[in-house]
Amino acid sequence: MRVTVSSSMANLGPSRPAPESLTPPYGMLSARNPGTSLTTTPPASMRSMAANAVPRERVKTEACRPYREALTASNAASSAGTGRTHTTGPKISSSQAAAPSGTPDSTTASQLVGSLESVAINKRVLVENEDRIRRTEETALDNLQTAARERRWEVDFDGVASAMGGTVDEARRAVGLFNANCARCHTAGFSAGLAFTQEIGSGGFGPALWDGRPLVQFGEKPADPAETDLLVDFIINGSEANRPYGLNGHGSGRMPAFGPLLDPADIELLAKYLRSGDLNGMGGR
């Protein structure tokens, strides 16, 4: 005996399940119209309401902007100078203004105005004093040119050696000691002005040493070595305020003591040079 089983399944064709990638999640339908923003249609129980869904605002939820974090990180370096952060999602681009940094414009403008005012003041002072400044500078330039022509600073070491009664080497050392230690006060230009523009021993802060002044002030070198040489003693100890020194001097305290600085032999040589009466070796002073 044969039994035939009939079923509605027997008349159906093969099953063709739809791929998951083509199925909107949770039954959501989406549509994109050219020239419009993304529209979404939420699930609805009535199919007619879903079919007639109206366009909505641009999607700005974090879930719909999957590339925001990555693009923001990649644009960080280029955005630092502009003060703006760009965020981009699928088919969506927006800009967010960042807080500005640096010096405010008002501060920069104020500093610029202050600088311009300083320039204007300097310019005005220069213009107002141009004639007076020019006269002073021209006088100084004339003096330098005259000193260059006359070569006032020159020393004839042969002449100095002859006046001292010593060698040329002694003359060179004596002049060097004088310029290094004495000229600042006793040669014009060393203490006020330019050095080596006036004749040696011409006087400045201290008295001039011309015309035999050291001999008048301290006398000749004693013949007896046991006797105190007043000039050597003065160079060693200097002067004391309101105390006599030498033969007829009255101290002001301005002459320093060179005893701790110079060798005794150099002090003796310097005293010999000063007493010679010819500091430049040209027979003048």
- What pLDDT digit, counting tens, does each position of 123-174 carry? 888 888 887 788 888 888 888 888 888 887 889 999 999 999 999 999 999 9
pLDDT over threshold 50, residue 76: no
Q: Choose the weakest-confidence range: 10-14, 132-136, 228-232.
A: 10-14
Q: Which residue has the higher pLDDT, 2 or 243?
A: 243
Collapsing DSSP states into helix, strand and coil, what is residue 103?
coil
Q: What is the mean pLDDT of the chain?
A: 75
pLDDT of residue 59: 47
| Distance of alpha carbon 113 from alpha carbon 43, whole angstroms | 66
Both tokens assigned to 223: 């013949």
With cut-offs at 50, 70 and 90, classify the pLDDT of residue 95.
Answer: very low
- Better-scored residue on pLDDT, 36 or 245: 245
Domains in the chain: boundaries = 105-149, 155-275
Residue spans of beta strands (DSSP E) within the chain: 29-31, 39-41, 84-89, 92-97, 244-245, 249-250
> How does DSSP assign 209-277, residue by residue?
--TTHHHHHH-SPPSSTTS--HHHHHHHH---TT-EETTTEE--S-SPP-TTTS-HHHHHHHHHHHHTS
State whether CATH 1.10.3470 applies to domain 155-275: no
Report CA-CA distances (Å) from 249 to 5, 101, 217: 155, 74, 7
Inform me whether the pLDDT recorded for 50 exceeds 70. Answer: no
Q: What per-residue confidence (pLDDT) applies to 227?
A: 92
84-89/29-31 β-pairing: unpaired
pLDDT at position 83: 46
Q: How many CA atoms lie within 13 A of 200 on its CB side?
A: 25
What does the alpha-carbon distance between residue 33 and residue 144 come to, in Å, rounded to a whole number? 92
Residue 185 near residue 206 (C-beta atoms within 8 A): yes
pLDDT(258) > 90: yes
Using alpha carbons, select from 232, 192, 217 the residue that is nearest to residue 277.
Answer: 217
- Read off φ and ψ for residue 166, nearest 5 degrees: -135, -160
Give the distance between the most distant pair of CA atoms in the chain.
174
Is the pLDDT confidence value at 48 over 70?
no
Q: What is the pLDDT of residue 32?
A: 52
Query: How far is it, in rounded angstroms, from Cα 185 to Cα 254?
Result: 10
Q: What is the pLDDT of residue 70?
A: 45
What percent of the chain has pLDDT above 70?
63
* pLDDT score at 283: 77
CB atoms within 10 A of CB 81: 7
CA quadruple 196, 198, 204, 209: dihedral sign: positive
- Sequence-distant (≥ 6) Cβ neighbours of residue 280 within 8 angstroms: 154, 155, 156, 159, 160, 199, 200, 201
pLDDT band at 257 (very low <50, low <70, confident <90, very high): very high
Tell which wins on pLDDT, 241 or 4.
Answer: 241
Q: Which residues pair with 249 in a beta bridge?
A: 245
The whole-number average pLDDT for the span 171-191 is 91
Query: What pLDDT does 170 receive?
Result: 96
With tokens 């107002």, the residue in question is 128
Q: Tell me, what's the pLDDT at 231?
A: 95
pLDDT number for residue 82: 46
Would you state the torsion angle of the CA atoms of residues 266, 269, 275, 280, taken in this order, to the nearest 10 degrees?
-90
